[in-house]
């Protein structure tokens, strides 16, 4: 593909799980990929290095809370597509840092939209929404029409960002859409996320660590998918004729206890012998059951999750064992 026809994508939050997989996906499609983080000089970009694409991504520093910083990076990069994956990513951490969570997610998204409107250039923007916006749907499968009932500072911020996107789409004609992504996991998840915590502990125990894994409520139910697949759905949204929001999920719900069992089964251990629950690990308000209806994505984007929870747990265990082996070499 020649430079004149080469598409440019700006990924905000490129160092995270989704940003890294998205960068790899877009590079494979021939894009010029520019990745942004708060401090590109200080960040290690370990995930980009792990996927061996660090040298192929142009890196810029940007603070989404600073309107001028956002303007400068957009003017410099001149992207055709912007993927906003930045901001605080942990539901649990948001209870400890509610103000920072709201500012980094909601105000950051608003600054980005306003900068695109101000520059008046034809940028298509994707925003990372979250299934957390729905809250507890009482066992009903959430789709794009399901009302929001956020139950954490993180979810409140994500809901506000979602409505910023919808407002700029409707009021100012921006090509702006949000993906309401349900839980999606991979080996690039930080260990503060419970799936990675479970997988890493199972692998250490299988190697003889003798530890006991402590968890909060293992009766919560979630829809777990494979992160590299969800990246494709983000890209598909920006290739449509008209901007729309989409629920992205597998459509299959499982208890956290089932994920634990699958992870320990993958290392030939009985999880009951190595796991206990602790009340101190419970969140102030937690969603018990999460169910998704990704039918619209299947119909309009042609996107369907191939990997379900059982596959995700197995693939994460395999990757962790490979990581342990590589570190020892």
Q: Which of 193, 179, 194, 187 is nearest to 20 (CA)?
A: 187
Is 154:101 a contact under the CB 8 Å cutoff? yes
Residues sharing a CB contact under 8 Å with residue 286, sequence separation 6 or more, in sequence order: 151, 216, 217, 220
Crossing angle of helices 256-265 and 194-206, rounded to 10°: 30
Kindly give the residue spans of alpha helices, DSSP state H, lying in 103-210: 108-119, 153-172, 194-206
| CB atoms near residue 177 (< 10 Å) | 22
* Whether 154 is catalytic: yes
The residue annotated as part of the active site, out of 31, 126, 154, 168, is 154
Cα-to-chain-centroid distance, residue 281? 23
Is 164:112 a contact under the CB 8 Å cutoff? no
Structural tokens at position 284: 């102030």
Structural tokens at position 207: 């190697």
Residues comprising the chain, all counted: 329
The residue annotated as part of the active site, out of 37, 69, 130, 131, is 130
The CA–CA distances, whole Å, from 60 to 11, 43, 72, 190 equal: 10, 11, 10, 22
Q: Are strands 225-226 and 184-185 parallel, antiparallel or unpaired?
A: parallel
The residue annotated as part of the active site, out of 132, 185, 229, 320, is 132
Q: Give CA–CA dist 135/149, Å, rounded.
A: 5
The CA–CA distances, whole Å, from 85 to 58, 125, 128, 210, 243 equal: 17, 11, 5, 38, 18
Is 77:33 a contact under the CB 8 Å cutoff? no
| Active-site residue list | 130, 132, 154
């Amino acid at each position: 593909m020649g430079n004149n026809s080469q598409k440019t994508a700006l990924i905000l939050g490129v160092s995270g799980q989704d940003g890294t997989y998205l960068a790899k996906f877009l590079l494979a499609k021939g894009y010029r990929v520019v990745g942004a983080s708060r401090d590109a000089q200080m960040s290690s970009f370990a995930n980009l290095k792990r996927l061996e694409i660090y040298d192929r991504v142009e890196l810029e520093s940007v603070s989404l809370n600073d309107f001028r910083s956002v303007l400068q990076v957009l003017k410099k990069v001149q992207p055709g597509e912007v993927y906003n994956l930045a901001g605080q990513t942990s539901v649990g951490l948001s209870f400890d840092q509610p103000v920072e969570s709201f500012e980094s997610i909601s105000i950051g998204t608003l600054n980005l939209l306003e900068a695109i409107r101000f520059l008046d250039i034809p940028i298509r923007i994707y925003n990372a929404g979250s299934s957390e916006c729905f809250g507890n749907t009482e066992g009903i499968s959430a789709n794009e029409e399901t009302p929001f009932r956020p139950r954490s500072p993180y979810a409140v911020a994500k809901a506000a960002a979602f409505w910023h996107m919808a407002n700029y789409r409707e009021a100012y004609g921006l090509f702006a859409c949000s993906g309401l992504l349900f839980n999606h996991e991979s080996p690039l998840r930080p260990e503060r996320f419970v799936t990675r915590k479970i997988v890493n502990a199972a692998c250490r125990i299988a190697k003889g660590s003798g530890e006991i894994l402590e968890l909060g409520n293992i009766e919560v139910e979630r829809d777990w998918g494979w992160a590299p697949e969800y990246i494709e759905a983000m890209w598909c949204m920006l290739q449509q004729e008209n901007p729309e929001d989409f629920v992205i999920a597998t459509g299959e719900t499982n208890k956290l206890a089932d994920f634990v069992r699958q992870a320990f089964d993958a290392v030939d251990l009985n999880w009951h012998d190595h796991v206990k629950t602790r009340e101190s690990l419970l969140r102030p308000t937690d969603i018990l059951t999460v169910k998704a209806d990704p039918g619209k994505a299947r119909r309009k984007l042609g996107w369907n999750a191939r990997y379900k929870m059982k596959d995700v747990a197995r693939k994460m265990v395999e990757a962790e064992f490979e990581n342990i082996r590589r570190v020892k070499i």
